[in-house]
Structure formats: structure tokens, C-alpha cells
Structure 1
């Protein structure tokens, strides 16, 4: 029987990921098997989780997934001693309109699983008010239980004492207090994101975070407050049709944003995934029956992609006979041209007419619900796909036939329709699940 906990906070940027990784590694140092999950659409954190635990992590998302799918994905922790579900944004932050089983809020997952929440509180610039915030979160929604808090970035012993007293008066357990310790902070970079594979010293960073947290947090108390959890049988598995039997998957520093559960579902359905690197000037495997270009950072490598003639000609030849699909950055590379942040225009593969620019950054962020006007690999016309979009590019031209009618989480129709031309298709959103 595993112990289940949700790690959340009042807001983003408070230290959820660092604490989750540190707790996971600290528990591993005690000889426990630890499974991590990520609530919400963030596709970066699961790779950090895997680095900390040695076990693959996946996203669970109440806006995009039904309860059966979430139950199926959570079952991967059935043989673990501890399961940590890291939240996104603030505990109750989601979209205004309910999705499949919730609004995408971390609180949905906590209530659904019956796991108590460990809150990370940053009391910088305040003292007793931190207790008021924690108490408000504790009492905001019936069905969501607060285990206690970990204070992060505490300025001094006196500061810690003031906050602890207020929390104790409010009846809220304090598991520990972390003094300011910048060395364990994970770096941020382009788009505010950094990938685990980009961190050569990630193991050392996590070990240092685990040592630091073990010195300042009562790990035994955290485990005592965790919920004893045995997975409930899921009515069905994750219902995914792979895009093909043999999938050529672009996979390198420019093409890395794909949800882990999608790749697992493809493999579980019997598909073979054949990675190739456009940055190494590799073409998709000729034996594949479909090519999939995930999102990533093509704008940081646009010059190299434009110069890699073998990749570009090989992809064009592949698309003459077999389907090619791109998500977000992959969609941009399927287009005609990409202008980078310095205003330099780079020719892309030209399989679609899309032209994008990063010269004037404009953030596109949020859940997407798309009804396909034409099929994409693995999904028929009329299918309703749920995904998430996050990029800073501007559409200069999108002349091809729209691939889908796309709505945001409020139901408003948006301009990022995706494109179709011949056997090539592309979307700005990253696919999470298909409505059953």
C-alpha cells in the first residue's frame, strides 16, 4: 500500500518542483520506491521527476482526461511506497469552464484521489499573513484536505518563529522551514522552461536539494500525514489509437515536447517508435508509416534546421507517400518559414504554408478543444481532441485549409486552427487526450 500526497502552493514560482524533487530523492535515500505524477498540462516536470525517482512520470489532467483515464495513469504507483503528485500554479487554479472531469486545478486531483495536500508557502515580505493564506486554502473547498505546510525562503529564525506561531494557532502543521538557499533553485530559460536533459548536473542538483530538505523538513511527519492508498481498478485503459504501426518521431533539443503518457500509450498499443534527430540532419526512417514532429525549441535552432538539407529533403520525400504531423514547434517546421527573435527569416520544410515569427513575441497559452475537419494520424475527421498550447510565435501566414475548429477553455473560437495540405497536418496545441 502506497502513501499518497499532493504537493501544491498558493501560486506559481513558490518552489513546488524543487520540493517535490527533493522529497522524492530524500525518500529514495531512505530505501523507499517513489512514484511522481504531474497535475496539469506541464510537459517539462515529468522528466525531472524521472531523474529524481528513476521511474517514469506522467501528467494527470482533470480538464482533458476522464476519471477512468486518470485512475489508469495513477495505477503506475501501485508498487511504490510513496506517490507524490506535483501540482501546477495555485492549488485551486484552473479554467473557468469545467472540462471532462474538472477545471484542470490541482485540487481536482487531490479530491479525486483522496490525497492530502502539502502546501509550499513562501512567506517573503509577510509573517502572520502566511497563516491566513494557508487557512484560507485549507477551508476553501470541502473534500480537499490539507496535511500541512513547508515554508520556503524564510529570511531568519525570527521570521520563521513568527510564521510558525501563527500557523500553529490556526491548527496547521508545519513540516519544516527552508532558509533561502539559491543553490538548489532550478534554472529557467527560454519560455521560462528548462528541460531535464539540458541539465548535465541535474543529479547533483537534486541530491543537494534532498540533503537540504532532509535537514530542515520532518520527513517522518510528512509520511505520517500521507494517505494510505491502494489503486482502484480502472474501468479501462488510456484509450489511444497510435498514429501508425511504425512511428518516426523527431527527438532532440529542438523537438522534445510530447506528453509521456502519449508515447507510453502508443507503445502499449503495439506501435514501434523510431526516433530521429533533425538537428543531426537525419531523415525519418524509411520503414516508418507515419512521421510525428513534436514541439520544442525550433526557433533556437532555426538556422541549423534550415541548413540541414538531408533532413528537409528526406521529410519532403517521406510526405509524398506517408502522413506527417507536427505539433507547435513541429508545425512551425512543417511551414514555409520561421523568423527568429533577431528578425532573421529561415526557410523551413515547406510542407505547409504556415509562416511564423518570434520577432514580436506574443504569448499563446491555454487549453484547447479541437474538432477535426480532416483526419490526422490516429484520429478521424470529427474527432474531438483536447490539448494545450504554449508558445510565443506570431502567425504571419496560415494559408492552407484549416485542420480543425479550435476553441479555448471558455468555448471561444481561436485563430490557431492548424493546417492541412496533402499528407501534411499540423496544430499549435500539444495533444493530451481524445474525447471518448
Structure 2
């Protein structure tokens, strides 16, 4: 049996990731096996989880995944002593229309699994009102149980005392209070935190966070508030079809946004994956039968990608006879050109006519439901795919055959249809699961 908890907050930017990493490492330092998960469509946090625990973390998503898939994914925590699911945004934040098993809210996962919630509360600029917010979250949905709170960014002992008294009066346990501590701030960029693999000092930062949280949070009380959990037998596994038998996967700092559960599903279905680095001017494995370019940060490396002739010519040669698919950033690199933040236009691979600009920035964010109007690797015409889109690039031209009819979570048709030309396909959304 594992001790299971969800770490959530009233909003983004309050400290969920830092607390999750600190708790995970602190318990690991005590000799416990800790398994983390991420609620919602996030590529970056699971890599931090793995750095903290030494175990791979995966996403669970109530909008895109059914309960059987979620149960299958969390079963990897069967041999753990502690299981932590980190939430996204605020506890009840999701989309307006229900998806497969919920709205994508962290509360869906907490209720579905029966795991109590540890709230991170940042009472900056307030005192007793923090207790009113915590009490409101506790009482908002009957199936979601609040274990207690950790206060973050406390200004002074007097401030802490005021907030603690109010929470105690509301019957809400306070596990600890964290003063401001700049040394454990995680660096950010436009799509979220700077990736764990790009931070040479990430191990030291997590260790410092664990030390700091251990000093200010009652770790034993947090564990005692957890649910006792063991996975139930699951009939159905992951609902994901691999795009081919042997997959050449772009993988480096510009192409890093791959959901771990997707790769595991491909391998479980018998596919082999070979990686190559476009930034190192490598070309896809000639023995592969499909090439997959995931998203990432090509807009930060556009000049280097444009200059890497071996990669570009190798990819074009590959696409003459075999399918190539790009997601978001990968889609942009399959296009004709990418304009960077400084307004400089860089020639991309030209397998598609797509032109995008990072200089003309506008956020595109949300769940996507696509009905394929043309085939793409692993999926036939008419297939329903669930995914998520998050980028700041603007489409300047999208002249090729639309790949899909794409709707957002409200059912509205969106312009980012994806493209198909020859053996090349691309989408701005990242695939999470297929509709059953």
C-alpha cells in the first residue's frame, strides 16, 4: 500500500511544482520510493519529477483519457511507498465542456482516485482571507477531500500567525509555512519552466528545496493525511497506436515535448524508437519506416536548424518514400519558414508550405479534438484524436491540404487544421489519446 496525495493550489504560480519536488526528494532521502504523476497536459514537470525521484513520471488527463487509461498509468506506483500527483492551474480549473472522464481539472483526478489534496496557499497581500479561500476550495465539491495546506511565501512570523489562526478556526490543518526563499526559484520561459535537462544544477536545486521544506513542513503529518492506496486490476491498457514499427524520433533541446506515456505505449505495442538530434545536424535513421518530430523550442534555435544542411537534406530524402510527422514545433520545422522573435526569417525544411512567426506572438492554448480528413502515421481518415495545443507562434501561411477538422473543448472549429503534403503531415496539437 502506498500513501497517496494530490498537490494543488488555488491558481498557477503558487508553488505546486517546487513543493512536489521538495516533498518527493525529502521522502526519497528518508529511503522511501516515491512515484510522481502530473495532472493535465504538461511536458516539463514530469522531467523534474523524474529528477527528484529517480522514477519516470507520466501525465494523467481527465479530458483526454478514460478512467481505464488513467488507472493503467497510475498502476506504475504499485511498488512505491508514496504517490504524489501534481495538479495544474487551480484545483477546479478545467474546460467548460466535459471530455472523456472529466474537464481536465485536477479535482477530477483527486475524486476519481480518492486521493486527498494538499493545497499550496500563497497568502501574499492577505491574511485571514487565505483561510476563506482554502475553506471555499474544501467545500466546493463533495467528492474532493482536503488534507490540509502548506503556506508559501510567508512575509513574517506575525503574518504566519494571522493566517494559521484563521485556518485553525476554519478546521483546516496547516502542515507548514515557507518563508520566501529565492534560492529554490525555478527559472521560466514562455512555455513554462526551463526544462530539467537544460539545468545543470537541477539536482542541487531540488536537494536545497527538500532541505528547506523539511525544516518548515511537518513531513510526518503530511504522510499521515494521505490515502492508503493500491492499484486495482485494469482490463484495458493505453489507447495509443504507434505511427510505425521503427520510429526515428527527433530528440534534443529543440524537440523535447513528448508525453512519456506515448513513448511507452509505442514500445508496448512492439515499436522500436531510435533518436536523432537535428541541432547536432543529424538525420533520421535510414532503417526507420516513419519519422516523428515532436514539439519543443525550435523558435529559440531557428538559425541553427536552418544552417544544419545534413539534417534538412536527410529529412527531405526520408520524406520522399516514408511518412514524416511534426507536432507543434516539429510542424513549424516541417514548414517553409519560421520567423524568430527578432523578426529574422529562417528557411526550414520545406516539406510543408507552413510559415510561422514567433515575432508576432499570440498565445494558443487549449484541448483539441481532431477528426482526420487525411491519414497520418498510425491513424486513418476519420480517426478521432484528442490532444492539446500550447504555443505563441502565429500562422502566416498554411497552404497545404488540411489534415483534420479540429475543434476546441467547447466544440468550436479552429483554424489550426494541420497540413498534409506528400508523405509529410503536421499538427499544432500534441496527441494525448485516441477516441475509443
Name the TM-score, length of structure 1 as normaliser: 0.99
For residues 63-115 of structure 1, the C-alpha deviation after alignment (integer angstroms, 9 at most, x for no partner) is 00000000000000000000000000000000000000000000000000000
Deviation at 1:192, TM superposition (A): 3.3
User: 8 Å contact 2:387–2:431 — kept in the other structure?
Assistant: yes
CA distance in 2, matches of 1:265, 1:216: 40
CA distance in 2, matches of 1:46, 1:192: 13
CA distance in 1, matches of 2:424, 2:78: 40
For residues 254-297 of structure 1, the C-alpha deviation after alignment (integer angstroms, 9 at most, x for no partner) is 10011110011111111111000001110000000000000011
User: Match of 2:399?
Assistant: 399
For residues 382-428 of structure 1, the C-alpha deviation after alignment (integer angstroms, 9 at most, x for no partner) is 11101110111111100000000000111000000000000000000
User: 8 Å contact 2:294–2:329 — kept in the other structure?
Assistant: yes
User: 8 Å contact 2:124–2:154 — kept in the other structure?
Assistant: yes
Deviation at 1:191, TM superposition (A): 2.9
User: Match of 1:303?
Assistant: 303
For residues 114-167 of structure 1, the C-alpha deviation after alignment (integer angstroms, 9 at most, x for no partner) is 000000000000000000000000000011000000000000111000000000
User: Match of 2:159?
Assistant: 159
CA distance in 2, matches of 1:359, 1:120: 35
CA distance in 2, matches of 1:64, 1:191: 21
Deviation at 1:243, TM superposition (A): 0.7
Deviation at 1:62, TM superposition (A): 0.1
Secondary structure at 1:68 match in 2: helix
User: 8 Å contact 2:254–2:279 — kept in the other structure?
Assistant: yes
CA distance in 1, matches of 2:165, 2:302: 54
Deviation at 1:241, TM superposition (A): 1.4
CA distance in 1, matches of 2:145, 2:190: 36
User: Superposed, which structure 2 residues align to 1:282-361 within 5 Å?
Assistant: 282-361=282-361
Find out whether 1:100 has 2:100 as its counterpart. Answer: yes
User: Match of 2:19?
Assistant: 19
For residues 174-194 of structure 1, the C-alpha deviation after alignment (integer angstroms, 9 at most, x for no partner) is 000001111111111233331
CA distance in 1, matches of 2:140, 2:193: 30
Two-structure CA RMSD over aligned residues (Å): 0.6
User: Match of 2:124?
Assistant: 124
Deviation at 1:226, TM superposition (A): 0.2
User: 8 Å contact 2:354–2:397 — kept in the other structure?
Assistant: yes
Structure 2, unaligned runs of 5 or more: none
Secondary structure at 1:278 match in 2: coil
For residues 231-268 of structure 1, the C-alpha deviation after alignment (integer angstroms, 9 at most, x for no partner) is 01112110221111110000001100111100111111
Deviation at 1:358, TM superposition (A): 1.1
Secondary structure at 2:316 match in 1: helix
User: Match of 2:41?
Assistant: 41
CA distance in 2, matches of 1:83, 1:73: 12
For residues 10-53 of structure 1, the C-alpha deviation after alignment (integer angstroms, 9 at most, x for no partner) is 00000000000000000001110000000001111000000000
User: Match of 2:197?
Assistant: 197
CA distance in 2, matches of 1:270, 1:410: 36
CA distance in 2, matches of 1:368, 1:434: 12
Name the TM-score, length of structure 2 as normaliser: 0.99
CA distance in 1, matches of 2:22, 2:103: 28
User: 8 Å contact 2:186–2:193 — kept in the other structure?
Assistant: no
CA distance in 2, matches of 1:29, 1:280: 37
Secondary structure at 1:144 match in 2: coil
CA distance in 2, matches of 1:420, 1:49: 36
For residues 187-220 of structure 1, the C-alpha deviation after alignment (integer angstroms, 9 at most, x for no partner) is 1123333101011000000000000000000000
CA distance in 2, matches of 1:367, 1:193: 20
Runs of 4+ aligned structure 1 residues displaced above 2 Å come to 190-193
Find out whether 1:245 has 2:248 as its counterpart. Answer: no
Deviation at 1:378, TM superposition (A): 1.1
User: 8 Å contact 2:10–2:91 — kept in the other structure?
Assistant: yes
CA distance in 2, matches of 1:341, 1:419: 24
CA distance in 2, matches of 1:393, 1:178: 37
